[in-house]
Structure 1
Amino acid sequence: MSDPGTPPGPGTPPGPGPAPALGVSVVVCVYTEDRWTDILAAVSSVRAQSYPALETLLVVDHNPALKDRLAREYKEDADVRVLANTGPRGLSAGRNTGIAAARGEIVAFLDDDAVAERDWLRHFAEGYADPRVMAVGGRTVPVWASGRRPDWFPEEFDWVVGCTYKGLPPGRVRVRNVLGGNASFRRAAFDAAGGFATGIGRDGDRRPLGCEETELCIRLTRARPDAVLLIDDRAVIHHRVPKAREHFAYFRARAYAEGLSKALVARSVGADKGLESERRYTTRVLPAGVARGLRDALLARPGGVGRAGAIVAGVCAAAGGYVVGSLRARRGGTAFSVPSIARAEAADE
């Protein structure tokens, strides 16, 4: 659970203002032809922005066939570049490839199975009117493949499917970290802190690890103590949730993997920073969710007991993953690296 958390210090978030004239490069990391239709929809949503993107970078994760197909699809479009991930397999290295190739002063990230609302980039750009702002994230809404949220699936755990979850503060607020699938960073943030750590995040369809954006944001605020990180819930994307992720088995596996990831983050930045927001989440947000589920059960509303049980099971799974991840870290069984990011022209078609 990459909890953005509460404001990391005194002061109020910068107020809304006109969008500054900043070039925004949008990076979409892709890895499988199974998401072909989703990828095209994601690019179309970027093209339709009221605040036009400078460019869209499609970074392909070690899949030459997909790279060639995308290069043919967009060969007549000068605003879309197709790149090969120049690092190790995985989402973090793909993002770093996009960052290195980006021409914009702002680098935004959009998941390959999501579509952005028309004013997505405009709300991001407005946040950078204050030069202290180093990152702006948005709100991610689930689009369930079955057409509706499963009755047992608690909104408090929407992070399991990569979406904004119940318990986050509304509006434009200062946070510890943004959420990677719907986020933007000032280019200077990567100059100061380096790129996304490899060895933490996702690697295709393998175990669904995460937290790479949490680790980066904590590292950023250490390198730039004056940095302000925001979430603006008007910057909305709609994220497709496939049927395979609507089942409890995935829910449990993702929660366990999050615990593994949190152990890596705590190893990197210390438990105080790595878990400060999670403590608030587990001591305030989740107990309230369990209480709501039990209340709904008493009122004979569908799924009340299931939601309460899923919250408890999710906490147990994440805690188990954290314990295992911590033990592995002590034995030296896990490692990750933080690359520096130099502006470079990645090879493209």
Structure 2
Amino acid sequence: MTPSDASTPRLSVVVATYNRLPLITRLLGQLAQQTLPPERYEVVVVDDGSKEPVKAPLDALGESLPYALRVEVQANAGAAAARHRGVLAARGDIVLVTDDDMQVEKDFLERHLAHHPEGSRHVVLGRIRPDPSIGDMPLFERWYAYLNHRMAEELSTPGARAHGNHLYTGNVSFHREDYVGVGGFDKSLGQSEDVELGVRLEKAGCAFVFASDAHVLHGSDHVSFERWLKRANRYGMFDTHVARKHPDVRGVNPWRLLFETNPLARPLLAATVVAPEATRVLTGAVMSAAKAADKLGLEKAAFAGTSVVYGMEYLRGARNEAGGWTGIAREVVRYLQGGGNR
């Protein structure tokens, strides 16, 4: 169905994709099975410069879909730019952002809409559950799934509150007007653009809601440990930018790791800050120990080791971005003088 065939939808699903035609095709098929009437939603896919363009095959697929599908194409500019383009192209009052490697149940869209009662300004964080095949993935990917599970359990506790720095783009919905009102994703950020957007939405008066029932299944095609380390480094770098934009929010300051991490891990993190290059061998040793623990079935120890490895590389990135000891001291003071532990 083409966009002109449908009346204005209530909900727009926005998905950025890059070199994942089979996965985005799978997701579009699952979105065609929704209990929400197809005239009430649309899907906007933004191809972020895939090596093999997806527009032609997706346009052909769109002819058989019950909902309106729009495919936007741009030169590779990163996920933040792609999602931003998708939200601006969306026609729905509510925008739901998810990833191309997610899988959804038939009532997924209805459940999200149920958390947006009339007159509310909610940002709804849906749960991310691991695909059953996650057990076949590398340790570092299973660690990510563990972190998602732990956060979901914490936010599901009676009295717990979600905040802006909890925002993730794998499964979130919000009012398009609120998104545009705060300026959308900061496209200058190579990582953590989701958290930074969440902080601005909360400051603008949006209420964050965690919705365990509006869940997605997340698999992964990430198998490179080196790329995982590079991503950790980039998060440390860009979280430094986010902390400078929001010095009043402690929860986005990368140097929180030195104060909030398990005390047993702090000497390793501190050593990384003091001697970032000399401790790379130590980082490798910790990861080897984590993998050994994993093979012995000691999952808790394996995840703890993986967390330390991530933190060490993350702080290397933060240290590099701080630009020396004067910069590090400035960032640490910024953390200590920040607001609540959000």
TM-score (norm. length: structure 2): 0.71
- C-alpha distance in 2, partners of 1:92/1:61? 10
C-alpha change, 1:233 and 1:37, in structure 2 (3 Å) is same
Kept in 2, the 8 Å contact 1:25–1:106? The answer is yes
1:261 is the counterpart of 2:250: no
1:166 is the counterpart of 2:166: no
Match for residue 216 of structure 1? Answer: 197
- C-alpha distance in 2, partners of 1:251/1:197? 23
1:254 aligns to what SS in structure 2? Answer: helix
2:308 corresponds to which of 312, 321, 325: 312
Match for residue 337 of structure 1? Answer: none
- C-alpha distance in 2, partners of 1:142/1:188? 31
Match for residue 48 of structure 1? Answer: 33
Aligned length in residues: 285
Report the structure number with the largest CA radius of gyration.
2
Matches within 5 A, 1:110-129: 110-129=98-117
- C-alpha distance in 2, partners of 1:263/1:135? 24
TM-score (norm. length: structure 1): 0.69
C-alpha change, 1:287 and 1:139, in structure 2 (3 Å) is farther
Instruction: Give 5+ residue unaligned stretches, structure 1.
Output: 1-21, 202-209, 331-349
**Per chain length, whose mean CA-contact separation is higher, i.e. which structure has more relative contact order (CA < 8 Å, sep 6+)?**
1
1:30 is the counterpart of 2:26: no
Matches within 5 A, 1:1-349: 23-32=10-19, 35-52=20-37, 54-63=41-50, 65-77=53-65, 79-85=67-73, 89-129=77-117, 131-143=119-131, 147-148=135-136, 150=138, 152-153=139-140, 157-158=144-145, 164-168=148-152, 169-171=154-156, 173-176=161-164, 177-201=166-190, 210-222=191-203, 224=204, 226-242=205-221, 245-270=222-247, 272-273=249-250, 275=252, 279=256, 283=260, 301-327=297-323
C-alpha change, 1:280 and 1:259, in structure 2 (3 Å) is closer
Cα deviation for residue 307 of structure 1 reads 2.8
C-alpha change, 1:282 and 1:84, in structure 2 (3 Å) is farther
Kept in 2, the 8 Å contact 1:263–1:325? The answer is yes
Cα deviation for residue 326 of structure 1 reads 3.1
C-alpha change, 1:248 and 1:304, in structure 2 (3 Å) is farther
Instruction: Give 5+ residue unaligned stretches, structure 2.
Output: 1-8, 266-288, 328-342
1:73 aligns to what SS in structure 2? Answer: helix
Spell out, residue by residue over 1:205-226, the C-alpha distance to the aligned partner (whole angstroms, 9 max, x if none). Answer: xxxxx2111111112223x2x3
Kept in 1, the 8 Å contact 2:163–2:208? The answer is yes
Kept in 2, the 8 Å contact 1:156–1:165? The answer is no
What amino acid sits opposite 2:150 in the alignment?
K
Match for residue 272 of structure 2? Answer: none
Kept in 2, the 8 Å contact 1:156–1:285? The answer is no
What amino acid sits opposite 2:306 in the alignment?
A
- C-alpha distance in 2, partners of 1:154/1:31? 19
- C-alpha distance in 1, partners of 2:32/2:240? 38
- C-alpha distance in 2, partners of 1:95/1:311? 29
Instruction: Tell me how large the CA RMSD over aligned residues is.
Output: 3.6
What amino acid sits opposite 1:214 in the alignment?
V
What amino acid sits opposite 2:43 in the alignment?
T
